[in-house]
Amino acid sequence: MGMIGFVGLGRMGRPMASNLSRKGFRLAVHDINRDAVAELELLQAKGVASVAEASRDSEIVVTMLPNSAVVADIVSGADGILNNAKPGTLIMDMSTVSPETTDALAANAKEKGMAFVDAPVGRLAAHADRGESLFMVGATPKDFDRVKPLLEAMGNTIYHCGPVGTGTRTKLVNNLLAVASCQLNAEALALSQRFGLDLERTLDVLYGTTAVNGQLKVNWPAKVLKGDTAPGFAIDLAHKDLSLIIEAANAARVPMPMVAAAREAFSAARASGFGGQDFSAMVDALCASAGIEKPRLKS
C-alpha cells in the first residue's frame, strides 16, 4: 500500500496512527499540536506542515477530528483534502459527526472523483492504545476492502454497517446508550452513597441483575471509581455527541426525551467545571452538587 495521510492526532488519533506506523504503514501525519506530530516522527512517520501536504501523495487520507465543522473544513475547505488530493484518493473519516456532514462530504468527494468512507470508532482511548478499537464502517464493498487492512492494524473488531453514512448513524445509536447510561449510573451510585450502602456490595448486586451495563461494569471501575477522571472520553465530547443525537433524531422525527434530559445533566456538569474530565465523572459532578461523598472502590 502507498502513502497514508493521517490528519488529527488527538487522544484517539495519536494511538491509532501509532499502531499503523508500528505495523509498517507509511504515514504522512498532520496536527496543529506539533508535539503529537513529533511523537509519530519517532515511529518513522513523516510529519507535514499542512493538510494539503498530507493529501497530495496519499492514496488514502484518514481524518480523526473533534466535530462536524472541523471535519467539513479539513475535507472541503480551500486548503483541504478535496482540493489537494488526486482523483482516486479515498478519504476515511473516523470522527463522530452529524449524518448530514457525512452525506455532504461523500457527495463532494464523488464529484471530485474520490471515494469516501465513514468509520467512527467505538470503545475508549485505552483500547486505541492497545490496538483494540471497534469500527463501524459505512462504505461500498470495494472501498471497505481498501480500508480493511488499516482498520485491522488499529483495532480488533470491524463491522461493515452498509453504504456510506451507516457508520456515522450506527455510532450515534451506540453513543446514545453509552453516554446516557453514564447519567443513570451517576444517579444510581449517588443514591447508594446517600443511603450509606457499601459500594462494592451494591456493585455486586447490580452486576448480577439486568440493571448492569457496560459503562458500570467495564469502564467505571477502571476510571472514576478508582479515582481516575483523566479524559479517555471527556464530558465535553459526550455532550457534543448527545447534541448530535438529538439533532439527528429531530430530523428523523424520533422523540428523544431521555436523551434530552441526559444532555442537560451533562450541560450542568460542564457549567460546574467538569467538562474536561472523563464522562464517568458524571457521578462526581452529581455528588458535588448534592453534597454527597464521591463513590470510590477500596482497592
Pick the catalytic residue from 46, 112, 171, 294: 171
- Cα–Cα distance between 167 and 146 in angstroms, integer? 16
Q: How far from 103 is each of 100, 116, 246, 278, CA to CA, in Å?
A: 5, 10, 18, 30
Question: Which is nearest to 53 in space by CA: 31, 70, 30?
Answer: 30
CA angle 134, 58, 94 (to 5 degrees): 25
Considering only CA atoms, which of 94, 111, 75, 248 is closest in space to residue 167? 94
Instruction: Clarify whether 142 is annotated catalytic.
Output: no
Report strand pairing: 155-162 vs 27-30: unpaired
Torsion of CA 153, 158, 162, 164, to 10 degrees: -40
Other beta carbons less than 10 A from residue 74's beta carbon: 25
Question: 6 CB contacts (<8 Å, ≥6 apart)?
Answer: 13, 17, 20, 27, 28, 29, 30, 40, 45, 54, 61, 62, 64
Which of 120, 124, 102 lies closest to 158, judged by CA?
120
Tell me the catalytic residues. 171
